[in-house]
Chain A
């Protein structure tokens, strides 16, 4: 009797595991399908470019403030912390290299993507989820307007265009913040700060790779936000859960992808 109960509960758990697995694979497939559809129908978003421009305004321009402020503080903290350790080895001039490489290679693309997921990704998910809940998407289909071409593709391209721009701004502002702490505040030599930086930061190996990273993160973050919005159950709770999932999945994917991209880029 006990044995059969145990067997039943085990079967139950196995079934649950299988169900979750199938569910996740299905969602991955549906996400990939949405991605391809967005690419296929993206001609529309370039033909009527004001749609994309409007989305760039909402995802890119509106994120500027949070990006600039956080970049400034990240750069300043990096300079302070870096100086603390570097001065023990008598090489406080290398602080410029440290700040620039850390920002351009890693922190610029990654922190921008995390902030983007929180600031713009959630907005996209909530907007599309609510559009679906209020049946605006179905209404569009009724009017023979393709919701993928009209709603998904412009937001997708807006995210892909905005992310590298935001990441570049993040890196530059962060370096300026580091400069402000290192040179006027701590008293590192101004010339050594920039010249060491220029000697050690390579344009193609560091800056271009950072831009490539942010492009990939732009595709991934926007796509996750779009899919979660499209996939949200048409209830208030469903939209709220989808928004939460956007942030969680985007952040984890960005961090994981960052490791993979870095390991490819560092192999020369």
Chain B
């Protein structure tokens, strides 16, 4: 085979390979979506972060405005301290509410920011005070069962009372 045609084919081969890798990185992977430009950092303390992970999205009104940087445990307050990287283009009031939500029924968890009404906005290094923990399914179920149990107990008490009256009636 001619040297130049061979070179051409190998060149085409390598070009296709690089294009495929580029396509994987851009179209399939998260290399484009993870870029959110310059950010500022705020922290928030949660009693329970559930299965929130670093790189989880931070959404406000459903739009991704940042990503979770890291999550550490504070052994003095026994809380999880979540560091949030929020896009510099978006400013939030200091009384913003940070909730941990779940995307779909079994989806990944993300942080939802609900803006408050304060005039002062969050700056780099600030702390979000108003937080709501992740919903733990077991807790919810046990609470529900507990409520049900106490309800039936109350009913039983009500039911248990009349026989005394009935007895009294029969005595008459």
Contacts and interface: CB of A to CB of B under 8 A. Distances in A.
Contacts of A162: 13
A164 B24 CA distance: 13
B10 A60 contact: yes
B24 A171 contact: yes
A164 B17 contact: yes
B170 interface: no
Given A194-B27, A198-B28, A207-B29, A171 B20 contact: yes
A164 B18 CA distance: 10
> Which of B14, B19, B34 has the largest count of A CB atoms less than 10 A from its CB?
B14
A199 to B, nearest CB: 7
Nearest to B9: A61
A64 B29 contact: no
In this complex, the interface size class of chain B, counting residues with CB under 8 Å from chain A, is 20 to 34
Contacts of B20: 165, 168-169, 171-173
Contact of A172 (B3, B14, B24): B24
B16 A198 contact: no
Interface string B84-128: 000000000000000000001000000000000000000000000
A50 interface: yes
A54 interface: yes
A64 B13 contact: yes
Contacts of B30: 198-199, 201-203
Those 6 A-B pairs whose CB atoms lie nearest each other, nearest first: A165-B17, A172-B20, A203-B29, A168-B20, A168-B21, A169-B20
Interface of B: 1, 3, 6-7, 9-10, 12-14, 16-21, 23-25, 27-34, 104
Interface of A: 50, 53-54, 56-57, 60-61, 64, 91, 100, 104, 162, 164-166, 168-169, 171-173, 175, 194, 197-199, 201-203, 206-207, 211
